[in-house]
Structure 1
Amino acid sequence: MSAAKYLTSTGISKVDSHQHFWKLSRGHYNWLKPELTVLYKDFLPNQLERELYVNEVSQTILLQAEESEEEIYFMLGIAEVNKFVAGVVGWVDMEASNVLEKLAHFGESKYFKGIRPMLQNIDDVNWILKDELTPIFEFMIKKQLTFDALIKDIHISNINILAQRHPDLSIVINHCAKPDLSKAPTDFWKNSLNNVAACENVYIKLSGLLTEAPQGPVNVDVIQPYFDHVMAVFGSDRIMWGSDWPVIKLNGDYDTWVSLTQSLLKNYSFEDKGKIWAGNAQKFYRLPAY
């Protein structure tokens, strides 16, 4: 079963801008503990293909799941033999003396799109603004590599500073900066997004929200105020849809998230839907046409 190239019932073939694979025998998944029972198993391409086919997803972006440069080889190997994987975003040691050489090496693959440091897990919220990292961002701009920001609301202001320092750096905030969906959107989250959205080089992923919601079935009304604010400040040109599969299994599934997103977008134009479902991710990650 292939998810590549077909006409869809809606006329919009989707791009999943955020998914993962892992194989437990590889090790290094420090966050993946046995108590996460639904996730503590291998997740590989053959398990995702059904989800993509049923939900008319033609391409995906495969993101890192561990702090290991070895994982990039694992992901690139998957991309080489699975047509639906259109891009890979990996983790590199940004403080290593040879980081630019590593980025140049990985960049030799057409599938390597950029990097994602796990900022949410770094104690120093200001770490990303260290002067020593400036040459890395300059190199990434030169090589047209992207920066995925795995953050929470306390990090948004620093992403704003980073985006202003490097206006040609393509940045995307993951999972809407992980707001707490058990309550109404906070003014802090909303105002922080207001500010960073003023930087035209910053995009945001409509992903990961089910796992930030209270456990159990999630009604669209829970997500609506968050989506409405993101749409108001970023607009349809800088929002990209992603599943966060298989992490989404902690509180939902692929079909549910697609259905909820369709409800969120039901009153928007065909053009706006096309951008959020596919076009923005294709533009941001410089994907080949499917």
Structure 2
Amino acid sequence: MNSTTSTSVRIDAHQHYWTIQRSDYGWLKPEMTLLYQDFQPRDLEPLLARHGIAKTIVIQAAPSIEETEYLLDLATQHASIAGVIGWVDMLSSKAPETIARLAQHPKFRGIRPMLQDLPQDHWISAGKHQAPFDAAVEQLLEHDLVFEALVYTRHLDYLHVFAQRHPKLRIIIDHGAKPEIASATWTPWADKIAVLAKLPNVARKLSGLITEAGPRWSVDSLRPYVNHLMRHFGTNRLIWGSDWPILTTDTIYPKWLSASEMLLKDLNELERDAVFGDNANLFYRLNL
């Protein structure tokens, strides 16, 4: 899935926008002082311009169709947004119809069901869900959309079952599946990563790792995890993203970009271009 020539377009493939008064962000609390405020394109676009990031993928942050439509409205207004990953209740009988409707928007690129927040870790692979869930997946395939997985290590076995069941579905795992970098925990994360990497329809986001490392993060603390992802997924299935504004709880945008460039400095130009943009262009079908 790698390109043979550079698009020369850098893409931040994972960022969020929200407006507090919308009130459907159940996880966002007033005590989260750095994050409990509005974050809009006017806040991020100057950073993008300063650091040569041409486009972004904005990711849902609330489990509601209304938020997805709100993000699609923003995408219509702002050229910097190349695509939107929204949310759909995949167990609803209306899910196929909803996906088909959302897919009519030229910047709708897929869905993220926020697996990490669901009460059952095995939800994605449970047999009793298969019929309605698979009907929704068929619509993702019909419209050439992505399934984005927000998961922890404990979900990876179940995600493996799901990915094998749907080998034609492009699956992107957010934040490297959130390894426990702060405690330097290696297994079982590393072993499960290696197993999932054998499935060619699965890619990984190089994003959110500083959040998992915590305020004492360093390039050296991140390096083993990034190297492991590159070793097993290669540079043609790694996709860079910032996770802005969530990353602001532990660092600032240019520091994460600089750290990423240091972590990837041994790659050749085409490989770096792949991680920083070409892979997002291909996986999300952006046609940039």
Q: Tell me which interval the TM-score lies in, with the shorter structure as reference length.
A: over 0.9
Q: TM-score normalized by structure 2? A: 0.94
The answer to whether the Cα contact below 8 Å between 1:179 and 1:185 also exists between their aligned partners in 2 is yes
Separation in structure 2 between the aligned mates of residue 180 and residue 41 of structure 1, nearest angstrom = 27
SS at match of 1:57: coil
The answer to whether the Cα contact below 8 Å between 1:176 and 1:206 also exists between their aligned partners in 2 is yes
Identity of aligned residues (%): 39
Separation in structure 2 between the aligned mates of residue 288 and residue 43 of structure 1, nearest angstrom = 27
Any residues of structure 2 matched to 1:5-154 within 5 Å, and which? 12-129=8-125, 130-132=129-131, 133-154=133-154
Provide, for residues 174-209 of structure 1, a one-character-per-residue CA deviation record: whole Å limited to 9, x for no partner.
Answer: 000111111334221011011110000000000001
Unaligned runs of 5+ in 2: 1-6
Any residues of structure 2 matched to 1:187-198 within 5 Å, and which? 187-198=187-198
Taking structure 1 as reference, are residues 288 and 161 closer, same or farther at Cα in structure 2, changes over 3 Å only?
same
Moved over 3 A (4+): none
1:244 and 2:240 matched = no
The answer to whether the Cα contact below 8 Å between 1:14 and 1:56 also exists between their aligned partners in 2 is yes
Q: Identify which of structures 1 and 2 has the higher relative contact order when contacts are C-alpha pairs closer than 8 Å and 6+ apart.
A: 2
Match of 1:221 in 2: 220
Match of 2:271 in 1: 272
Q: Which sits farther off after the overlay, 125-134 or 149-158?
A: 125-134
Separation in structure 2 between the aligned mates of residue 209 and residue 49 of structure 1, nearest angstrom = 22
Shift of 1:80: 0.6
The answer to whether the Cα contact below 8 Å between 1:87 and 1:112 also exists between their aligned partners in 2 is yes
Amino acid corresponding to residue 48 of structure 2 in structure 1? L
Shift of 1:12: 4.4
Separation in structure 2 between the aligned mates of residue 184 and residue 251 of structure 1, nearest angstrom = 17
Unaligned runs of 5+ in 1: 1-10
Amino acid corresponding to residue 245 of structure 1 in structure 2? W
Separation in structure 2 between the aligned mates of residue 144 and residue 276 of structure 1, nearest angstrom = 21
Separation in structure 1 between the aligned mates of residue 135 and residue 26 of structure 2, nearest angstrom = 29
SS at match of 1:279: helix
Separation in structure 2 between the aligned mates of residue 250 and residue 264 of structure 1, nearest angstrom = 21
The answer to whether the Cα contact below 8 Å between 1:86 and 1:288 also exists between their aligned partners in 2 is no
Amino acid corresponding to residue 149 of structure 2 in structure 1? A
Provide, for residues 68-121 of structure 1, a one-character-per-residue CA deviation record: whole Å limited to 9, x for no partner.
Answer: 100111101110111010000101111211111101110000100000001001
SS at match of 1:187: coil
Shift of 1:214: 2.6
Q: TM-score normalized by structure 1? A: 0.94
Separation in structure 2 between the aligned mates of residue 214 and residue 105 of structure 1, nearest angstrom = 40
Amino acid corresponding to residue 146 of structure 1 in structure 2? V
Separation in structure 1 between the aligned mates of residue 42 and residue 214 of structure 2, nearest angstrom = 30
Amino acid corresponding to residue 220 of structure 1 in structure 2? V
The answer to whether the Cα contact below 8 Å between 2:111 and 2:146 also exists between their aligned partners in 1 is yes
Separation in structure 2 between the aligned mates of residue 20 and residue 226 of structure 1, nearest angstrom = 24
